[in-house]
């Protein structure tokens, strides 16, 4: 994506792998089987966490960076 000039945010748990394969805008997630969720929380709390994580991802798309960044 990035090579084509499309900023791409990657929400993932294994951020070191993301960095080693070349992702530039990396956002740590909430867990491998549920990157944007947490079954131990109530739906309301889950959605709140999900929303703030997505907001962070959107932020990375408007953040000018010159190198790989884990936000």
Partner 1 sequence: MSRVVRVVHYLNQFFGQIGGEDQAGTPCMVKMGPVGPGLAFKAMFGDRAQIVATVICGDNHMGENLEESSAAAAALVAQYAPDILVAGPAFVSGRYGMACGAVCQAVSQELGIPVVTGMHEENPAVEIYRAHVVISPTGKSASKMRDAVQAMAKLALDLVEGREPEPGAYFPQGKRRLVVAAHSGAERAVEMLLARLRGQDVVTELPLPNFEKVPPAPALEDLAGATIVLGTEGGVTPVDNPDRIEMSMATKWGRYSLEGMAGMDPAKFTANHGGYDNTAAKQDPNRVVPLDVMRELAADHKMGSLAEFFYTTAGNATTVDNATRFGQEIVRDIRAQFKEKVGVVFTST
Q: Using CB under 8 A, list all residues that contact partner 1.
A: 1-14, 18, 20-22, 24-25, 29, 32-37, 39, 46-47, 50-51, 53-55, 57-58, 61-69
CB of 20 to partner 1, least distance (A): 6
| Closest approach of partner 1 to the CB of residue 23, in Å | 9
Instruction: Indicate the DSSP class of residue 5.
Output: T
Residues contacting 54, CB < 8 A, separation 6+: 11, 36
Give least dist CB 22 to partner 1, A. Answer: 5
CA angle 39/52/70 to nearest 5° reads: 100
Structure tokens at 34: 């549920």
């Amino acid at each position: 994506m990035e090579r084509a000039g499309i900023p791409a945010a990657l929400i993932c748990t294994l951020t070191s792998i993301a960095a080693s394969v070349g992702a530039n805008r990396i956002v740590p997630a909430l867990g491998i089987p549920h990157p944007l969720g947490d079954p131990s929380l109530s739906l309301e709390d889950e959605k709140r966490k999900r929303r703030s994580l997505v907001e962070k991802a959107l932020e990375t798309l408007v953040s000018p960076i010159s190198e790989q960044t884990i936000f």
